Amino acid sequence: MNVYEPGNIRNVLLVGHSGAGKTTLTEGLVFAAGAVTRMGKVEDGNTVSDHDAEEIRRGISVSLSLVPIEWSGVKINVMDAPGYADFIGDVKGALRAADACVFVVSAVDGVEVQTEIVWELAAEARIPRAVFVNKIDRERASFERTLGGLIAAFGTQVAPIQLPIGEEHEFSGVVDLLTRRAYRYDSGPKGEEGDWPEDLTAKAEPYRERLAESVAEADDALLEKYLETGELTAEEIVRGVKAGLSDAKFSPVLVGAAGRPAGVDRLAQFVVEAFPSPLDRPPVTVIKKDGSEEERLCEPNGPLTALVFKTVSDPYVGRINLFRVYSGRMRPDSPVFNATKSTEERVGQLFTMRGKDHETVAEVPAGDIGAVAKLTHTATGDTLSVKSDPVTLPPLDLPEPLLAMAIEPKTKGDEDKLSTALARVQEDDPTLRVERSSETHETVMYGMGEAHVETMVERMKRKFGVDVLTRPARVPYKETIKGKVQAQGRHVKQTGGHGQFAVCWIEVGPMPRGGGFEFVDKISGGVIPNQFIPSVEKGIVKAMADGVITPYPMVDVRVTLYDGKFHPVDSSDIAFQLAGQLALREAAQKVGVSLLEPIVQAEVLVPESYTGEIIGDLNSKRGRILGMESAGAGKQRIRALVPHSEMTRYAIDLRSMTQGRGAFAMTFDHYDEVPSHLAEKVVAEARKEKEEG
């Protein structure tokens, strides 16, 4: 592919709710640009951007895909983002690489949840936004209803610059409100230009007036003229559309049917003519070695500054890093400095990706997006710069995965392969987190939701040959002693030769929550020799780790060793360890134990209309509401203390209750006693699992 200068590059991210037709629109753009001779279909599994086996099987995008096209002498880097909530991490990464977003909205289903969520993210980042109303040729499609939904959701900054000619099966083309020209799609992906249909004039004029109003609201000079004269010239409207879009104050609405494809050529032309190039975007802020900040312009001859926003594991090539260059040029066969990891890397061949296909490029200048394979240390979120002037870009703001699933290999022989596979899928998707729980001794995979975890498990099997089993991660319950008690541990055995003899007396009592374990030595007169006192402690610690009455470890106890007996021949380290274990068990049997559960502090962010339902649900989960405060933008932040066991599937529950509009975070707070009726059930289930295991 040719090398393009920044002014002739457009970095466009296609976003929207799953099923709106982003992948089909990408396919339509590739076909209209002549990059493929036949248009693929999602249902046939042969589209350019959805090439992953899991995407083909599910019929949805599960990963960001880059598909560059060339149109009217301009390179458009089209990024097709997943629309399913579980894969929002890829969207957040791609927003850093994009200069504008096209929100794909179905004319049948209208504005859906994920569209609203990503709109907020793009608005926060001040990224220009346009809307493509898709599927206008489908049954029950309505442009007017969809436009009304867009204005209700996003305000009067949304205004159409195109109207459809007909709807549903009568759809035949689009009219351009800026040029008053019509484009009909009787054959092929490129519209046949003609005059504005007379029968559309009455319908189109009110929309043109609405367009003039929206454009005027985004520009003070135009607003002043509009208020004085009540109208704007065609040139002023066109200029206002470009300026308003570039400043993220105006969002034009285009229309089409990507599956035919119809209207995609007009979208591509509009992207070329009106969308901002990298030169039109504000400079990026970089952090220098001394901690100071500096603004860096999109300058191809400046020092190299590039951000890795996506990593892909290719079974043939290995790890591939997708990067956006903000300043300077990335050249093949040259050294670069990973400023995030403070390591040098050697760049080999540079290429761009069109779905799964690679196209070699001579260099990647400022403003462009490229790919490089086989960098040793570089991962998603890293900044590439030069060693003489190392700077870092702000890290990616990725969501916290909170659905915990325990995983283990199906076969013992796959244990080594599992750790390698987990490391590779985490490189692909940094929103996936894997930890080894020291409390439950499980390998726990944290994902954004069930579909996210399932996709990663399937990817490990297909790419790395590791078959794994998953189950909900165990809650790390603990037990503690109920009161103060004295107990004896006696281990006496007589066999041929040396016997075993150890007797110890201990006093056991509870400590404050979080107090841990304290061992007090009050032996006097040598009733237990000094070398065996640590043995008693070792035995008690082992008994606590294994669980004394329940299968859960014991915590928050003070054990005082105050008396005992020994035999000069038969006493040994192991005998006193066993005596210590027996003494603790007897103490627990005498006074009883309490089951403790982890309590988390949950912070739930939801639209105001859902607060009552969320508070009611948290109360039903044995939660204690700590407070509620306004978070702006019509949202409330609810803080509550909730048992961890009630929150294991909250990532799924909250999405269901709020239609995906809610978000939450949780942190461990403290341990508290489990109500007795629930404790019995928990212990019984744990014992059953232990016996079966």
Q: How confident is the model at residue 122 (pLDDT cuts 50, 70, 90)?
A: very high
Grade residue 693 by pLDDT with cuts at 50, 70 and 90: low
Confidence of residue 545 (pLDDT cuts 50, 70, 90): very high
Q: What is the pLDDT of residues 569-592, one digit of tens each?
A: 899 999 999 999 999 999 999 999
Sign of CA dihedral 296, 301, 305, 306: positive
Which range in 199-203, 617-621, 665-669 is most confidently predicted, on average pLDDT? 617-621
3-state SS, residue 226? helix
Task: Average the pLDDT over 495-501 and give the result.
Answer: 78
pLDDT of res. 496: 65
| pTM confidence score | 0.85
Domains in the chain, please, with CATH? 6-280 (3.40.50.300), 284-392 (2.40.30.10), 404-460 (3.30.70.870), 479-591 (3.30.230.10), 596-683 (3.30.70.240)
State residue 497's pLDDT score. 67
The three-state secondary structure class of 314 is strand
pLDDT at 179 (0 to 100): 85
Query: What mean pLDDT is predicted for residues 424-432?
Result: 87
Contact between 656 and 606 under an 8 Å Cβ cutoff? The reply is no
- Tokens 């092929």 — which residue? 188
Going by C-alpha positions, the residue among 483, 477, 487 that lies closest to residue 592 is 483
Residue 341 burial class via C-beta count within 10 angstroms: exposed 0-12, middle 13-18, buried 19 and up: middle
Q: At CA 19, angle to CA 14 and CA 21, rounded to 5?
A: 45
- Reduced to 3 states, what is the DSSP secondary structure of residue 150? helix
pLDDT for 294: 93
Q: How far from 664 is each of 425, 433, 636, CA to CA, in Å? A: 24, 17, 11
**How far is it, in rounded angstroms, from Cα 148 to Cα 136?**
15
Q: Locate 662 and state its tokens.
A: 């809610």
Q: Report which of residues 136 and 205 the model is more confident about.
A: 136
Which residue would you say has higher pLDDT here, 138 or 208?
138
Mean pLDDT in residue range 46-73: 86
pLDDT at 318: 81
Distances (CA, A) of 240 to 10, 79, 234, 246, 684: 19, 26, 10, 10, 70
CA atoms of 433 and 646, how far apart (whole Å): 21
Q: Residue 470 pairs with which residues in a beta bridge?
A: 407
What is the mean pLDDT of the segment spanning 40-44? 86
List, for residues 323-380, the tens digit of each pLDDT value: 999 999 999 999 999 999 999 999 999 999 888 888 999 999 999 999 999 999 999 9
